[in-house]
């Protein structure tokens, strides 16, 4: 499958990868990546994904984007570069694997809740060892198209389709609902002994 993305968005990502690794993308070689759960026979079930999330050992009550990604770096023993980018409105985020390194890009112009969802979604591609798609830009000049030759990635756009995209969404929904439950529980604990009449306590 091919992904088509806005040329400016692509240039922003390529420029970052080049700066970070000191290399252009033309020599990128990607190790073949195997799907961890199920080998292409369809979507994982919720309970498969819940076990994967459990195995990560992440404490949902400490969630923030940097904290979560830092946990993944240690738990998966991978270099993950987390990059906020002023992408165009149509792109929420992307995951790219290049030069043995993982890059999670997210659109810094989106609402913080969308940024959270995007980063957890993109991280799912790493955790679930998704194979990714070849990345292509629409109407790219030849030299840019050449840079992309061996690059594989995922993009989060409004109309993303495919088993890996659905699975990443499922993973993000499960993990984020766990995080929301914890913050609600924390709120309940905090409010147990709260004044019900003014002056109200600061929560």
Q: Which region among 68-76, 80-88, 164-172, 185-193 touches Zn ion (by CB under 5 A)?
A: 164-172
How many residues bind Zn ion, per CB under 5 A?
Answer: 4
CA distance 108 to 105: 9
The percent helix, strand, coil of the chain (3-state, each to 5) is 45, 20, 35
* Least separation in angstroms between CB 73 and Zn ion: 19
Q: Which of 168, 172, 174, 179 binds Zn ion (CB under 5 A)?
A: 168
* Least separation in angstroms between CB 121 and Zn ion: 6
Beta strands in the chain (DSSP E): 2-5, 80-85, 91-98, 101-107, 133-137, 152-157
* Least separation in angstroms between CB 168 and Zn ion: 4
**117 is a contact residue toward Zn ion (CB under 5 A):** no
**152 is a contact residue toward Zn ion (CB under 5 A):** no
Element at 91 (helix H, strand E): strand 91-98
**154 is a contact residue toward Zn ion (CB under 5 A):** yes
Nearest alpha carbon to residue 59 among 202, 185, 191: 185
- Can you give the binding site for Zn ion, defined by CB under 5 A? 154, 156, 165, 168
């Amino acid at each position: 499958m091919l992904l088509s993305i806005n040329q400016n968005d692509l240039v922003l990502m390529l420029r970052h990868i080049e700066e970070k690794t000191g290399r252009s993308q033309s020599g990128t070689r990607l190790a073949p990546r195997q799907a961890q759960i199920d080998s292409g026979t369809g979507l994982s079930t919720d309970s498969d994904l819940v076990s994967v999330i459990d195995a990560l050992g992440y404490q949902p009550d400490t969630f923030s984007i940097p904290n979560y990604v830092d946990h993944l770096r240690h738990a998966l023993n991978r270099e993950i570069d987390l990059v906020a980018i002023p992408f165009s409105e149509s792109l929420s985020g992307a995951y790219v694997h290049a030069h043995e390194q993982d890059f999670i890009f997210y659109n810094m112009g989106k609402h913080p809740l969308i940024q959270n969802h995007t980063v957890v979604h993109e991280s799912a591609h790493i955790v679930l060892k998704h194979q990714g798609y070849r990345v292509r830009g629409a109407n790219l000049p030849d030299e840019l198209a050449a840079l992309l030759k061996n690059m594989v990635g995922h993009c989060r756009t409004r109309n993303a389709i495919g088993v890996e995209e659905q699975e990443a969404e499922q993973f993000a929904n499960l993990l984020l609902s766990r995080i929301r439950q914890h913050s609600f529980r924390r709120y309940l604990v905090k409010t147990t002994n709260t004044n019900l009449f003014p002056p109200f306590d600061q929560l």
